[in-house]
């Protein structure tokens, strides 16, 4: 017998604008609105959001401090900026970095004397947090509907995820128009993130019939919409479809976890935080599939079918090569066809990256169809250098 509980986040979709969500804030008095440092500020959404929260007649405080690859120091800084205000809800408007920071801030507010890294290392489990309402402005993280937060500790040079029930957002408001202003780079890198979540959860040793269905659908939606979103970011229907894909794979990883791509990616962006998570995954995706395909042929056949590759009557070898060709085309089309060395990683860094994978990405490694040795991890890194 197996027990399965799907996301505890209340999902509201089909929203035309933030104005449609007025009832969601009825029970709150003091609202912190957490955003990134730049994206929202330069988009026309900012004025609209400011107007909306002004119209609620409640106290609110904008904290626009979040940067990509957020750190424990950033969570502490946000706590310092908000503690005197004593919020009873945090509205996270942004991508994964903003939502993850909001989640950890929501715990820090309840337990101010506990370092958030203690949860990451598994020494503690928080039992309470203040509610977070996620309003994603990208379609990739999945954090808007799951209990996972990813955070970097700059002293330890580790980027890890933490999973606790109190990290489920209370509400997730899907407003496709909020993603219209995403540029091509953010559109493509976040879609690759969602696609990686779907593939890794599907081939995960912890995949179930439910997560497999979610992941399959997510892959289909991404492949059918990513080219159009990249070419014409103003198509609202396409943007909405990608939001759904992010939600589906976000729920899938909540149950089945991520795998080898994320296991190898986190150490890269922990040591080289100027690299975006999705760009790191785009560099890894083909090699990881090439190395792991033979350990999970049946599940990779499902991935291939979801991508539109005909598998019936075709050999495993030809399916693998069709998949690799498809990824080559996709990654090149999205202009993410890079090597690690293009982004500042050197040969001498590989040993440390592989050390990191085996020392702290163990959960993701264990989810993977096979658990590579440190030597074979170094080999994968060398092949993408």
* Minimum CB distance to Fe ion, residue 192 (Å): 9
Do the beta carbons of residue 150 and residue 96 sit within 8 Å?
A: yes
User: Please, is 344 exposed, middle or buried when counting C-beta atoms within 10 Å of its C-beta (0-12, 13-18, 19+)?
Assistant: exposed
Binding-residue total with Fe ion (CB under 5 A): 1
Question: What is the smallest separation between the CB atom of 262 and Fe ion, expressed in angstroms?
Answer: 6
| Residue 82 vs 137, nearer CB to Fe ion | 137
Nearest in space to 37 (alpha carbons), one of 13, 55, 63: 63
Specify the residue, 109 or 248, whose C-beta has the smaller distance to Fe ion. 248
Report the C-alpha gap between 187 and 168 in whole angstroms: 24
Q: Closest distance between Fe ion and the C-beta of residue 207, in Å? A: 17
Site string for Fe ion, 165-194 (x = CB under 5 A): ----------------------------x-
Residues 6+ apart with CB under 8 A from 64: 34, 35, 36, 37, 40, 41
Q: Which is nearer to Fe ion, 193 or 216 (CB)?
A: 193
The least CB distance from residue 145 to Fe ion, in Å, is 14
Structure tokens at 282: 């785009």
- Between the alpha carbon of residue 370 and those of residues 40, 114, 123, 206, the distances in Å are 41, 36, 28, 12
Q: Does 100 bind Fe ion (CB under 5 A)?
A: no
What is the smallest separation between the CB atom of 140 and Fe ion, expressed in angstroms? 7
**How far is Cα of residue 131 from the mean position of the Cα atoms in its chain?**
20
Complex with Fe ion: residue 87 or 94, whichever CB lies closer? 94
307 and 235 in contact (C-beta within 8 Å)? Answer: no
Closer CB to Fe ion, 270 or 320, in the complex: 270
Ranges within 105-164 binding Fe ion (CB under 5 A): none
Q: Which residues contact 45 (CB under 8 A, 6 or more apart)?
A: 93, 137, 178, 181
Q: Measured from the CB of residue 266, what is the shortest distance to Fe ion in angstroms?
A: 9
Nearest approach, Cβ of 111 to Fe ion (angstroms)? 26
Identify residues 37-76 at the interface with Fe ion (CB under 5 A).
none
- Looking at the Cβ atoms of 193 and 240, the one nearer to Fe ion is 193
Residues that bind Fe ion (CB under 5 A): 193
């Amino acid at each position: 017998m197996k027990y399965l509980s799907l996301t505890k986040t209340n999902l509201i979709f089909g929203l035309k604008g933030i104005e449609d969500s007025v009832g969601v804030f009825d029970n709150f008095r003091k609202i912190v609105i957490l955003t990134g440092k730049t994206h929202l500020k330069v988009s026309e959404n900012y004025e609209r959001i400011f107007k909306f929260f002004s119209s609620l007649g409640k106290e609110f405080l904008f904290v626009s401090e979040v940067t990509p690859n957020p750190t424990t120091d950033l969570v502490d800084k946000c706590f310092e900026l908000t503690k005197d205000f004593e919020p009873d809800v945090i509205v996270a408007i942004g991508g994964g970095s903003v939502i993850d920071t909001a989640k950890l801030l929501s715990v820090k507010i309840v337990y101010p004397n506990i370092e958030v890294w203690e949860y990451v290392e598994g020494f503690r489990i928080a039992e309470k947090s203040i509610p977070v309402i996620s309003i994603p402005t990208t379609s990739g993280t999945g954090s808007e509907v799951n209990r996972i937060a990813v955070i970097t500790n700059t002293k330890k040079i580790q980027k890890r995820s933490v999973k606790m029930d109190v990290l489920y957002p209370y509400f997730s408001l899907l407003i496709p128009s909020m993603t219209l202003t995403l540029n091509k780079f953010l559109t493509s890198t976040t879609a690759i993130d969602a696609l990686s979540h779907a593939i890794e959860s599907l081939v995960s040793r912890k995949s179930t019939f439910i997560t497999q269905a979610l992941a399959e659908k997510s892959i289909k939606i991404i492949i059918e919409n990513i080219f159009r979103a990249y070419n014409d970011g103003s198509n609202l229907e396409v943007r909405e479809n990608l939001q759904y894909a992010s939600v589906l794979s976000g729920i899938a990883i909540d149950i089945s976890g991520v795998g080898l791509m994320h296991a190898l990616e986190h150490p890269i962006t922990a040591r080289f935080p100027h690299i975006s998570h999705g760009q790191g995954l785009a560099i890894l995706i083909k090699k990881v599939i090439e190395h792991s395909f033979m350990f999970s042929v049946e599940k990779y056949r499902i991935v291939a079918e979801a991508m539109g590759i005909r598998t019936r009557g075709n050999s495993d070898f030809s399916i693998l090569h069709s998949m690799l060709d498809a990824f080559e085309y996709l990654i090149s089309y999205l202009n993410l066809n890079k090597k690690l060395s293009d982004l500042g990683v050197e040969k001498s860094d590989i040993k440390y990256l592989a050390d990191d994978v085996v020392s702290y990405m163990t959960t993701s490694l264990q989810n993977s169809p096979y658990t590579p040795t440190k030597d074979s991890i170094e080999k994968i890194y060398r092949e993408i250098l």
